[in-house]
């Protein structure tokens, strides 16, 4: 019987009781909490992402409720990250239980057309929305604080560069930098352009690994025919070679496996349930020559898993690593699993049209 079969026949009462026995104080700190989240109609995409952010060590505790409610006077109290602590705070005397994050979910449904109904949504799109929304609000708060400080000090004519958006903890934790390198095959001039990212989206193939996917991501592409590159040195379009390399690695590397592909003949998206192996340890070394951090060792700390055959039909669950042990979060169900059970989410070796539970977003934490 698989982990998911076990989870499906458990109710929360017996599950909570079993979980409390599994997470004794010797291994798990008394201050740690393991709450399931109520599903308010296809909100598993939201629940799965929230569990990841809660258990990622560098994420500030006040954002996900482990240090009490957010400041009421700030806008952050009303946004994703703010509503989450309120139901959580009252329940914190318990180590396990269930939280209804209704207020949290109501915000995206009000403000973004993508989430304004009860249909299944994409967990990757929600992760992007959540990180960018929190970053925007934090930057706006910092901007207002700066302006208020200028009014108080009477210093209203600061240089324009001082008005650039400040980096937030979102950027400090999740943001990396890519370098898009293009080499003209006529004059050998190399031009480069930097691009920041909060996650990397990689193509997937059958019976491969995430390491192979990352190598493909940075493969050299030849630009010819209609795709010729305009070379500033030659002042004309020339054949060129282009590749993407990592210039700055993030603290948490979020890898999005592009499992949903639009099929022209079907006129819809279908799921690629390919088997893609992702190791518990990942060493990244293929970086640009002027990389800030040339190589870095990462540990897998969370996986958002999609079960089903299409982006609009299916279910999201999450596995996270907490204090050396792995836990499975399936909405309101929480249970401890073996590290080997994570291998169940690699995907299928054949019959890729079948429903499968496969890794969709991987989260790797840097050891540095």
Residues acting as catalytic residues: 44, 315
Give the distance from CA 138 to its chain's centroid.
Answer: 19
User: Strand, coil or helix: what is 8?
Assistant: helix
Nearest to 221 by CA among 253, 195, 185: 185
Nearest to 193 by CA among 143, 244, 153, 241: 244
Ranges of H-type helices in the chain: 3-8, 12-22, 44-55, 61-64, 85-90, 102-111, 123-153, 169-174, 210-217
Token look-up 């998206």 returns 269
How many angstroms separate the CA atoms of 89 and 32, rounded? 13
Q: Which two tokens stand for residue 218?
A: 């940075």
How many angstroms separate the CA atoms of 254 and 242, rounded? 24
């Amino acid at each position: 019987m698989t982990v998911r079969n076990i989870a499906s026949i458990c109710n929360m009462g017996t599950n909570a009781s079993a979980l409390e026995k599994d997470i004794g104080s010797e291994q798990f700190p008394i201050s740690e909490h393991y709450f399931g989240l109520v599903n308010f109609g296809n909100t598993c995409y939201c629940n799965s992402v929230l569990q990841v952010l809660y258990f990622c060590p560098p994420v500030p505790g006040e954002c996900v409720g482990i240090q009490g409610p957010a400041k009421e006077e700030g806008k952050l109290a009303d946004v994703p990250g703010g509503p989450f602590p309120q139901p959580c705070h009252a329940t914190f005397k318990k180590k396990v239980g269930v939280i209804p994050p209704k207020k949290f979910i109501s915000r995206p449904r009000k403000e973004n057309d993508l989430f304004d109904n009860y249909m299944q949504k994409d967990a990757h799109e929600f992760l992007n929305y959540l990180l960018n929304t929190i970053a925007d609000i934090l930057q706006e708060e910092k901007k207002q604080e700066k302006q208020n400080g200028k009014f108080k000090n009477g210093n209203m004519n600061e240089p324009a560069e001082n008005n650039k958006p400040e980096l937030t903890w979102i950027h400090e934790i999740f943001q990396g930098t890519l370098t898009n390198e293009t080499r003209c095959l006529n004059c050998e001039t190399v031009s480069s352009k930097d691009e920041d990212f909060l996650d990397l989206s990689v193509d997937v193939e059958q019976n491969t690994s995430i390491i192979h996917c990352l190598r493909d991501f940075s493969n050299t592409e030849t630009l010819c025919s209609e795709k010729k590159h305009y070379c500033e040195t030659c002042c004309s379009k020339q054949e060129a070679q282009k590749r993407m390399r990592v210039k700055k690695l993030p603290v948490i590397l979020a890898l999005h496996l592009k499992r949903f592909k639009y099929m022209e003949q079907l006129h819809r998206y279908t799921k690629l349930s390919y088997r893609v192996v992702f190791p518990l340890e990942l060493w990244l070394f293929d970086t640009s020559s002027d990389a800030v951090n040339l190589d870095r060792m990462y540990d897998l700390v969370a996986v958002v898993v999609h079960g089903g055959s299409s982006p609009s039909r299916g279910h999201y669950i999450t596995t996270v690593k907490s204090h050396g042990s792995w836990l499975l979060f399936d909405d309101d169900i929480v249970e401890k699993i073996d590290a080997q059970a994570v291998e169940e989410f690699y995907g299928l070796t054949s019959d890729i049209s079948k429903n499968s539970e496969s890794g969709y977003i991987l989260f790797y934490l840097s050891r540095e």
